Amino acid sequence: MRIGITCYPTYGGSGAIATELGQALAKRGHKIHFISYSLPFRLQEYNENISFHDVEIMPYPLFKYPPYTLALAAKMAAVAEDASLDVLHVHYAVPHATCAYLARHMLRDRDIKVITTLHGTDITLVGSDKSFYQITKFSIEESDGITAVSESLRRDTISLFGLTKDIRVIPNFVNTGRFRREAGECTLRGIVQEDEKILLHISNFRPVKRITDIIRMFVKIKPKIKSKLLMVGEGPDRIPAQELAKELGLRESVVFLGLQEGVDDILPCADLYLLPSEQESFGLSALEAMSCEVPVIGTNVGGLPELVKHGETGFIAEVGDVDKMAQYAVELLSDDRLRRQIGQQARQRVLEHFDQDLIVPQYEAYYEEILRQ
Ligand code: GMT
């Protein structure tokens, strides 16, 4: 098939999944065309089946807000025409589903199918905000196929938007060959001493991630376990988290690493992964941690419990219950045997349910189903 993929190219789970999907489909012989405003951050390997189409906007003094959405729609239509695309698969509904709708209507003589994958805040936060609600609902309903990354997100979409169209759940996936404990030498020994345990968090540091809860958790763990907390990512809550760490006397033991390219090199070094989010439709970084045999402590929200089985592959607590999460962390970090067992069970769960080789064929089959309609 000839498939156009649009996603946010910057750090984030939806862009990561869209890129991993495109790369996996290209290896399976499909022609993949990424269309976005810059090269997706995980698009690193050369493959002759992959091309990238940059969306450029003409600067003009009248444009207080440069109309990216229009430029993207026009680019989608042009690529669809030139490359004879069969499918336009857009990740994150806002504004990509709307651009795809426009592009399809520009291509009067070409039959192209639009598939929208819902990722999370495109529904729960941004899409359901009143400024975007109607256009998001319209654009999702106009898609030929709709997928959601978890059962929880499917339910949220139906209840928030009252959609009657079928939403197919195709869960996120991980390349278990790349994300694995043996994948590489632990690169963090310059930062963390041999006898220190490593707690890890990776995100875009937005309020929804509740990263100050991680610091509050760590201040309870630190006196009991010789450890360091590594925070990977960048975003609006980095400064408040850094300030809090300083205030709580954790300046030396909480390390902010900023944006990092090779999270597959960092994750296998961790002893514990923390994701105390307020909302999380899936939690891709938790999946990648589990694939590296790292137990996850997460919250009872969205799709996280579909992934993390309490007491089996990690622990789940209520949002904001910092005491409980710290207690689970101490339990796991002070018992190497238990931690290893939970880590191995986590990897097993990933291999059985979320391996790239199981999920990518589900997308292929879905494309074929939609193309037959
Ligand atoms: O909505 C966001 O936070 C951004 C988005 C992204 O681009 O990373 O994250 C969502 O999509 C990911 C990939 O499907 C999911 O793993 C995240 O759980 C989801 N984020 C939220 O629901 C908060």
The whole-number average pLDDT for the span 18-31 is 98
Of the chain, the percentage scoring pLDDT greater than 90 comes to 91
Same-domain pairing of 261 and 168: no
Residue 183 lies in a domain: no
Same-domain pairing of 246 and 156: no
**Structure confidence by residue, pLDDT tens digits, 95-133:** 999 999 999 999 987 889 999 999 999 999 998 899 999
Q: CA–CA separation, 79 vs 134, rounded Å?
A: 28
Shortest-distance Cα residue to atom 19 of ligand 1: 120
Check pLDDT > 60 for residue 183. Answer: no
**Choice from 36, 121, 204 to test ligand 1 binding pocket (greatest atom count within 8 A of CB):** 121
DSSP 162: -
Q: CA–CA separation, 9 vs 131, rounded Å?
A: 24
Residue 65 lies in a domain: yes
- Whole-number Å distance, alpha carbon 282 to ligand 1 midpoint, is 7
Q: CA–CA separation, 243 vs 285, rounded Å?
A: 25
pLDDT at residue 110, as a whole number: 83
- Whole-number Å distance, alpha carbon 3 to ligand 1 midpoint, is 23
Nearest ligand 1 atom, CA 149: 14
Same-domain pairing of 217 and 285: yes
Same-domain pairing of 61 and 39: yes
Confidence label for 184 from pLDDT (cuts 50, 70 and 90): low
For the chain, the average pLDDT equals 96
The three-class DSSP label of residue 252 is coil
What's the CA angle centered on 45, arms 32 and 370, to 5 degrees?
Answer: 25
Token digits for 289? 């941690």
pTM here is 0.96
Nearest ligand 1 atom, CA 206: 3
Nearest ligand 1 atom, CA 122: 1
Number of domains comprising the chain = 2
Same-domain pairing of 220 and 167: no
Shortest-distance Cα residue to atom 9 of ligand 1: 13
Domain extent for 280: 197-353
Same-domain pairing of 152 and 289: no
Q: CA–CA separation, 198 vs 79, rounded Å?
A: 46
Shortest-distance Cα residue to atom 7 of ligand 1: 14
- Whole-number Å distance, alpha carbon 13 to ligand 1 midpoint, is 5
Of the chain, the percentage scoring pLDDT greater than 70 comes to 99
**Burial annotation 168-191 (CB, 10 A radius, 16+ → b, else e):** bbbbbbbbbeebbbeeeeeebeee
Same-domain pairing of 203 and 346: yes
CATH number of the structural domain spanning residue 133: 3.40.50.2000
Ligand 1 site residues (CB inside 6 A) read 8, 12-15, 17, 92, 119-121, 149, 172, 208, 279-284, 302
Residue 191 lies in a domain: no
Same-domain pairing of 156 and 228: no
**Structure confidence by residue, pLDDT tens digits, 264-277:** 999 999 999 999 99
More confident position, 199 or 11: 199
Residue 188 lies in a domain: no
Q: Which residue has the tokens 């018992």?
A: 335
Residue 189 lies in a domain: no
Residue 52 lies in a domain: yes
Same-domain pairing of 8 and 111: yes
Q: CA–CA separation, 137 vs 148, rounded Å?
A: 14
- Whole-number Å distance, alpha carbon 107 to ligand 1 midpoint, is 31
Same-domain pairing of 11 and 150: yes
Q: Where are the alpha helices (DSSP H) in the chain?
A: 13-27, 68-83, 93-106, 121-124, 133-142, 151-161, 211-221, 238-247, 263-266, 284-291, 304-307, 322-333, 336-353, 356-372
- Whole-number Å distance, alpha carbon 120 to ligand 1 midpoint, is 5
Same-domain pairing of 336 and 359: no
- Whole-number Å distance, alpha carbon 164 to ligand 1 midpoint, is 23
Token digits for 98? 């709307």
Q: Are 329 and 271 spatial neighbours (Cβ–Cβ below 8 Å)? A: no
The whole-number average pLDDT for the span 39-48 is 91
- Whole-number Å distance, alpha carbon 283 to ligand 1 midpoint, is 7
Same-domain pairing of 223 and 254: yes
Residue 72 lies in a domain: yes
Question: Which residues touch 82 (CB under 8 Å, ≥6 apart)?
Answer: none
Residue 178 lies in a domain: no
**Structure confidence by residue, pLDDT tens digits, 57-93:** 998 999 999 999 999 999 999 999 999 999 999 999 9
